[in-house]
Chain A
Amino acid sequence: MSHASPADLAAAARAQLESLQGRGLKPKDRMAIPAQEMPQQDPDERSANFAEVALGYSPEQAQVEAMRCLQCRTAPCVEGCPVRIDIPGFVAAVAEGRFQDGIDIIKRNSLLPAICGRVCPQETQCQAPCTVGKALKDVDQAVSIGRLERFVADFERQQKPHAPAVAPATGKRVAVVGSGPASLVVAADVRREGHEVTILEAFHKPGGVMIYGIPEFRLPKAIVEEEIRTLIDMGVTIRCDYVVGRTRKLHDLIDQDGYDAVFVGTGAGLPVFMNIEGEHLVGVFSANEYLTRVNLMKAYDDRADTPIMRSRRVAVLGGGNVAMDAARTARRLGAESVRIIYRRTEQEMPARVEEVAHAKEEGIEFCLLQNASRVLGDEYGCVTGLECLRYQLGEPDDSGRRRPVEIPDSAFTIDLDTVIVAIGNNSNPLITQTTPGIDTNRWGNITIDDDGQTSIDGIYAGGDIVLGAATVILAMGQGRRAAAAINRRLAGG
């Protein structure tokens, strides 16, 4: 992958824009416009810093990229969007340089575009069915809807921010448990109707996975903090250091504290381990722990008291976005060698294509069709290596992906000092254990009806506590739906 400088990319786009403007563009002309490359930090430089990797389009790049959109009447992109943003509408506005109009259109459906523009898996959602990508037979050639979303969101952030209008006070009170993407959407949507909203967050800082999990280089914390400041400006109260299920039982919020409705958006938080020998050795971390130490507790900063192991040789087990985040974080903390160990092939990897590409550029090694079978340690209980087995792909399993099958007698060992386990999360038991009458499925996820309401009247839920491990945008979508139901409920009484 070539890496032109941001200035060169902007200059090329400027020239392109001049040649296009004023011309009536036919679909054929639009398809001939080159896809705009995302300016990014040089891989060698960025593997030693925590600053954002993708730098964002210039205004000219955004306009040129938007002109690639055919404005097709079927708009398959909208079908691919979990919150059904009017994508052709906002892209047309960008093409004409009406950036504020563009963001206003997005905000009718999505509340956190600066975040979603960065972390949504667009290549499997809105961009997957894009007619341009289909015609060019390459999903990477689809219109970069996500980058355009990010561009207009960042454009708006640079203007004077204004908090959305709030209806007159209704006297109704809603508690929102957790402060990740689902919860932030509920807080905003419910507050707008004039209801009093209190967010109850377990950590000392709000933002959930966007603060403790997703690293700075992928989602700058300042963006999340701005979204939270907007909520505070709207009059939402945020209480940190408050664990519902412990500091207060869920029932008590309604029965004792007088909340009229509660939304539970506590996320997926109970890391799964491999259950292999040596997993308790010093130097084995869950990705959650590793990332939390770095992101939330700022362990990479010399001023921070929270320690982080200064690893030299690291293996990350798993092939999702969290695995990529952990590997790239270890790299930035100075590890000489970082490898991803995944038991299927790159095709089956759940991580976003872009994250995989970024990881490779930063020198992360991909060890595919392998899996850890034993962590090796020394007499001090510290990790010294990993025993792995080789795999081949067999018949498809329930998920439709080809099942990895162990190759007999294929064991081999590698020298390491750190193993990061990133194979997913089980549902957190805190709320379900302490809330009699709340129904869960067999994985312990809270079950909800079409309104997002749980088996307990007045208690709603959404996000990963319902979905298992999902994405920011799906969590937001569920939050939206629950907020609408809560607003209907409160308007009725």
Chain B
Amino acid sequence: MHRIMRKQQLSAEVFRLEVAAPEIARERQPGQFVILQLHDYSERIPLTIADADAAAGTITLIFQTVGRTTHLLADLAEGEAIPHLVGPLGQPTHIEQVGTVVCVGGGIGVAPLHPIAQGFKQAGNRLVVIMGARSKDLLILEDEMRAMADELVICTDDGSYGRQDLVTAPLLEYCQAAEPPAAVVAIGPPVMMKFCAQTTRPFAIPTTVSLNTIMIDGTGMCGGCRVNVGGKTLFTCVDGPEFDGHAVDFDTLILRLGAYKAREAEDHHRCHLELGLEGAH
């Protein structure tokens, strides 16, 4: 059992939990994730580890309420426990000193991006962070990113904060600069990652993306998380979750992620009503 030590609501649909998980906190590295299950009949869902405190024995999970399980998770209070939590899963991010690294995060993707940005910063890189959200109230971890980044650019779709732009616009400017970044990391909705990869491709800047696919076991057994990377079938859970953004076949990935969308939309609607969350639609 993994007790929830602290719970915060970061935006209308985004929650932050600090969960007791000493073994995972000890082993985890940036880029890795956990799988959790809330009861006997519940799904197993993957969530990225946004942060960890090995001394306190806690990990931080940041998630958006999307389907049934994330809504149930949002309904747990401080002091309650997550019965099944397994990890850290996936390959850690390959972090080294390369010069300037641009980290691009979209929406909830800023959460998994945070420990990776932190890792690159600590490795002595110059850190540029580009964060995007639909509007100001959906923006998360701004203070944490600001404290760490050498430069921070914020974009919103509706112009309620920062630039009214897609994240690819400032990314293109950095690529075109006299001294382009040595590496780019982009984490967010698949469409955003696809266009970030397209933006950097002409400049041949190595671009890493982190995929959040359908998954059951997280140890390579089920193959539900398979993705086409450079014409090869790879598994997000054991080969990823990070891949070369220029090699990922995003179009099939986006189609696969839509497999259970109808069910998810239905759960989202019903759970929002049941939980009395804001923004029910």
Contact = CB atoms under 8 A, between A and B. Distances in A.
Contacts of B69: 305
A273 B249 CA distance: 17
Given A204-B84, A282-B256, A248 B23 contact: yes
A270 B221 contact: yes
Counting contact residues on chain A (CB < 8 A from B), the size range is 35 or more
A294 B256 CA distance: 20
Contact of A292 (B41, B221, B227, B252): B221
Interface in A414-450: 428-430
Contact of B223 (A212, A288, A297, A298): A288
A118 interface: no
B54 interface: no
Contacts of A428: 219-221, 238
Contacts of B85: 241
Interface in A259-315: 267, 269-271, 273, 275, 279-282, 285-286, 288-289, 292-293, 296-298, 301, 303-307
Contacts of B220: 269-270, 428-430
Contact of B88 (A246, A285, A303, A306): A246
Given A202-B217, A203-B217, A429-B238, A286 B223 contact: yes
A179 to B, nearest CB: 13
Give the residue among A212, A281, A303, A306 with the most B Cβ atoms within 10 A.
A306
B63 interface: no
B82 to A, nearest CB: 10
Interface in A295-341: 296-298, 301, 303-307
Counting contact residues on chain B (CB < 8 A from A), the size range is 35 or more
A394 to B, nearest CB: 28
Contacts of A298: 41
B183 interface: no
A429 B235 CA distance: 11
A240 interface: yes
Given A246-B27, A280-B249, A292-B221, A297 B226 contact: no
B43 A271 contact: no
A221 B44 CA distance: 20
Contacts of B44: 204, 297, 306
Contacts of A242: 23, 86
Contacts of B255: 280-282, 380-381
Nearest to A240: B84
Interface in B195-253: 216-224, 226-228, 233, 235, 238, 249, 252-253
A304 B226 CA distance: 24
Nearest to A290: B222
A472 interface: no
Nearest to A247: B23
B272 interface: no
A474 interface: no
A318 B68 CA distance: 35
A479 to B, nearest CB: 20
B252 to A, nearest CB: 4
B89 interface: yes
Contacts of A306: 42-44, 216
Interface string A445-469: 0000000000000000000000000
Interface string B40-59: 01111000000000000000
- When A and B form their complex, which 10 residue pairs have the shortest distance between CB atoms, in order from nearest? A381-B255, A269-B221, A286-B223, A241-B86, A289-B222, A271-B223, A280-B252, A282-B259, A204-B84, A303-B41
Given A241-B84, A430-B238, 5 more contacts: A204-B37, A280-B226, A280-B228, A282-B256, A296-B216
26 contacts: A202-B86, A202-B219, A241-B85, A242-B86, A243-B219, A246-B27, A246-B88, A248-B27, A267-B221, A269-B219, A269-B220, A270-B238, A273-B226, A273-B233, A280-B227, A286-B224, A289-B216, A289-B224, A292-B216, A301-B41, A305-B41, A305-B42, A306-B43, A307-B263, A380-B255, A430-B220
Interface of A: 202-204, 212, 240-243, 246-248, 267, 269-271, 273, 275, 279-282, 285-286, 288-289, 292-293, 296-298, 301, 303-307, 380-381, 428-430
Interface of B: 23-24, 27, 37, 41-44, 68-69, 83-89, 216-224, 226-228, 233, 235, 238, 249, 252-253, 255-256, 258-260, 263
